[in-house]
A and B are shown apart, each in its own frame.
Chain A
Amino acid sequence: MKVTANYSAGRLTIHLSGELDHHSAREGLGEIDQLLDEYMPRDAVLDMSGLTFMDSAGLALILKTERRMRRSGGRAAIANPARQPSRVLEASGIERKIPVIGGSRT
């Protein structure tokens, strides 16, 4: 998985691309933590449009990011998940905890 970001007006958009599984999640989480330390955004958006695969390791990464944002008084959201990641998000019911914007839904 690759992690890149842009920052504008309090919002950090974190672009995830490639495959997000247990193998790639630890490094990905470290990179996200570093980006949040550096920018201290009010809003963090996990843009999943480049993610070709995600399993439950992605859910843990999302929940950890959401918790961290909430503790610092900010918010997190997910944007543009493709079909396969969307099905994992739907099966988990995670949408009750974090908004999902755009993407491929049923």
Chain B
Amino acid sequence: MVPLYDSKFLDDTFGNKYAFRLYASALSLSLSRSRFWVYLDQVQRTESFCLNSGKMIRLFKVKEKQRELAENANGKPPVKKQSPGELRLHKDIGELNLPKTCNIAFPNGKDDLMNFEVTIRPDEGYYLGGNFVFTFSVSPIYPHEAPKVKCKTKVYHPNIDLEGNVCLNILREDWKPVLNINTIIYGLFHLFTQPNYEDPLNHEAAAVLRDNPKLFESNVRRAMAGGYVGQTFFTRCM
């Protein structure tokens, strides 16, 4: 392996040779010199912004002295950092407008909003009377990234598999930062009133719903009451 920092290969007399050498060692891998100059020119012509940076090094000097002094002083108590995701989530949670059929709980207390549980009790359709618990785990870069949602209750459902994975477009491919926790909860609620065999995660359940809705209905009742559907056992959730 050739060390890139053997600065032998250039001996020019250009003004900004330091920069040239630094860039050139990087660019020699792929660029000709003429193209490099176009590059450097681009960079320099756009350097319009300036902080009062001549003073920077003097600030460093002062700070270094302060640091030495501070090392003898007592340590401060650790400060908790609040991520931007947490702040935005705070807003979402404070504005929650849940239907009566949905409940939210914070198992880790009032100061951990990033992990919570939502219970859905459908008031119509196949799943009437069941209690379905979903766990939400929210990232520190929320809403840039959608929350991770899993169904904790084992359910016989075409769009939820036996591991609790949920097929809901806004949780994955259609997530947008303008959406919020309320939207997701309504989306989940909708899955129970309108299960959909076209986007199956549990294909057996989806096939039954498509071909024999009556059998599907009785399978759902049996699963919710606690019992076997085919080879799979479901715990009671009514």
Do they bind each other? no
| A interface list, Cβ under 8 A from B | none
| B interface list, Cβ under 8 A from A | none
